[in-house]
Amino acid sequence: MAELTSIQLTKETREKLSSLGRHRESYEDIILRLIEVYDRVKPSSEIGVEEKEKMIKGFSSDVHKQTEKMKSRKK
């Protein structure tokens, strides 16, 4: 059985995920990318909260960039 991890998403990230869902991107794909980001993060004892937040903001930025690419392809 896979290990489950609980995470908190910022309001901004939740809104972006919601927006992507409206653009027909699978939530599963989004969540898998989020898990990949967390897999690259060292254990909490070795990394500070601020550094983790920076990584998540980077993920949010990537999601936004991908959304923009999808929008430009549809035009």
Q: Is residue 74 part of a domain?
A: yes
In this prediction, residues 26-32 reach a mean pLDDT of: 71
Q: Is residue 57 part of a domain?
A: yes
- Per-residue pLDDT at 72: 75
Q: How many domains does the chain have?
A: 1
- Per-residue pLDDT at 41: 63
Q: Is residue 36 part of a domain?
A: no
Q: Is residue 18 part of a domain?
A: no
Q: Is residue 22 part of a domain?
A: no
> Which pair of tokens denotes residue 69?
């690419």
pLDDT confidence bin for 4, thresholds 50/70/90: low
- Per-residue pLDDT at 1: 45
How many alpha carbons lie under 13 Å from residue 54 in its C-beta half-sphere? 6
In this prediction, residues 20-24 reach a mean pLDDT of: 63
Q: Is residue 61 part of a domain?
A: yes
- Per-residue pLDDT at 69: 74
CB 37 within 8 A of CB 4: no
